[in-house]
Amino acid sequence: MSSVTHEVDQVLEVDFSSLSEDDRNEIIECHKNPDAYVCDDSFPGEMVCRIEECLVKENSEKPGSFILKRTLYFDFSWEDEDEMSEWEEDNTTTDDANLPSYVVGDYEGVCIGDAMHDYETDYRGMTV
């Protein structure tokens, strides 16, 4: 079985001052446990998302505002090299730093009320 791991750093500043404690806790829980999944049905492999670092810290300069930071690792694996080669021809290569953005869904932001707030995302690429 072949595999690659991609590292993604994310940060988001959120104003919690107008939110209920339940809403705050829900956002923090989503931040700590994203529900990432393979959203590209044509991807011929599997993906596991894991978090190595996760931080929720109040911004000392802006009371009620919190900084959410995390480092995600996406482990992609596949068995059929020919299928993967065909997928790469139509999509992107497995060493493309942006591979998670092509394959994975539901990790790029958090929903607050009716609005989606996207993380600032730094695609670090493959890790060793």
pLDDT tens digit sequence for 19-64: 889 999 999 999 999 999 999 999 999 999 999 899 999 999 998 8
Q: What count of other Cβ atoms lies within 10 Å of the Cβ of residue 12? A: 19
What is the pLDDT confidence band of residue 17, given thresholds at 50, 70 and 90?
confident
| pLDDT at res. 111 | 87
Is residue 113 scored above 80 in pLDDT? no
pTM: 0.92
Q: Which of 60, 61, 54 is nearest to 11 (CA)?
A: 54
Q: For residue 108, report the phi and psi dihedrals to the nearest 5 degrees.
A: -85, -10
Q: What percentage of the chain reaches a pLDDT higher than 70?
A: 99
